[in-house]
Structure 1
Amino acid sequence: MDDLDRRLINRLQCGLPLVRHPWQQLAHELASRPGELLDRLHDLLEDGVLTRFGPMFDIEQLGGAFTLAALAVPEARFETVAAQLNELPQVAHNYRREHHWNMWFVLACASAAELAQALSRIEALTGLAVLNLPKEHTYHVGLYFPV
């Protein structure tokens, strides 16, 4: 990762400019070219430096439902269960925690009914009880990790 990659990552954390040609404006800001920035972004994603680039939507405002959930997965089954979750389109991501509930994941569904079905399906698929932790309050945190 070079200086331009770092500056690009730092700038993208603030969002894309809301203009007709955002990559052109970013290129001007970063003294680069739009094509070069897009190529770098694709390389950062392909190399795993970045895991995701895209919009964030408030799924509840769109009529959908989501929840944070967890499983207590025996260590011998951890990779298998992670693969099972990763196959489900409703699972946004999952990650390991050093806790009894060692696998955490976010479920995003089109409706509350679909969310309930997805939770039941995960229990049936894995044979494990799901700890469902729906959001009680919304907090907006301006998260920024300078690189």
Structure 2
Amino acid sequence: MLTTLHKQLLNDYQQNFPLSPRPYQDIAEALGVTEADVLSALTELNDNNFISRIGPVIPPNHIGVSALIAMAVPEQHLQTVADKISAHPEVNHNYEREHRFNLWFVVIAADAEHLDALIDAIEQETSYPAMLLPMLDDFFIDLGFKLDLNND
């Protein structure tokens, strides 16, 4: 069950996360709790899969190089392949689509050479070919959402 602190963290810090030497202390002061409370609540949210990471969203190809990749994976192997792909720290996220190319993911690497090596490694690990989808137009989708803090 989400506590009020959990909901405040999820609601108030999807964007505008404090950029300071002690961001969790800054959050704690704003919410009237301790830094340890904030860290504990974030650990609980992570352990229960409400969050998967805390970090910046950087527009594609502003730092390093990025790519959208699609793979056609038989349904019975989809979760296993997705788990192997997600194990790479360069993978931002992956998701299932209703299409022959049913597994899509975004990777970010320091340079084109690293990106190519990563894609090759993923193909070797999964035994499925990866289709690189180049970015033609840049657009941003705000994936933030508001929680109903009054609905406990």
Distance in 1 separating the partners of 2:121 and 2:13: 36
CA contact 1:66–1:134 (8 Å) conserved in 2:
no
| 1:1-147 paired onto structure 2 within 5 Å | 1-58=2-59, 60-62=61-63, 64-147=64-147
Alpha-carbon distance, 1:10 to partner? 0.8
Q: Any stretches of 5+ residues in structure 2 without a counterpart? A: 148-152
Alpha-carbon distance, 1:142 to partner? 3.8
Alpha-carbon distance, 1:145 to partner? 0.7
String of CA shifts for 1:28-85, please: whole Å, max 9, x gaps. Answer: 32222222112111111112121211233457333x2110111110112223322332
State the TM-score, normalized to the length of structure 2: 0.79
String of CA shifts for 1:8-39, please: whole Å, max 9, x gaps. Answer: 21111122223454333322322222221121
* Seq. identity, %: 33
SS at match of 2:105: strand
Distance in 2 separating the partners of 1:87 and 1:143: 23
Distance in 2 separating the partners of 1:107 and 1:68: 7
Could you say if the C-alpha distance between residues 32 and 113 of structure 1 is closer, same or farther in structure 2, counting changes exceeding 3 Å? same
Could you say if the C-alpha distance between residues 111 and 20 of structure 1 is closer, same or farther in structure 2, counting changes exceeding 3 Å? closer
Distance in 2 separating the partners of 1:80 and 1:124: 14
SS at match of 1:78: helix
SS at match of 2:11: helix
Corresponding pairs, count: 146
Q: What amino acid is the match of 2:33?
A: S
Distance in 1 separating the partners of 2:143 and 2:76: 35
SS at match of 1:100: coil
Alpha-carbon distance, 1:131 to partner? 2.0
State the TM-score, normalized to the length of structure 1: 0.81
2:150 is aligned to none
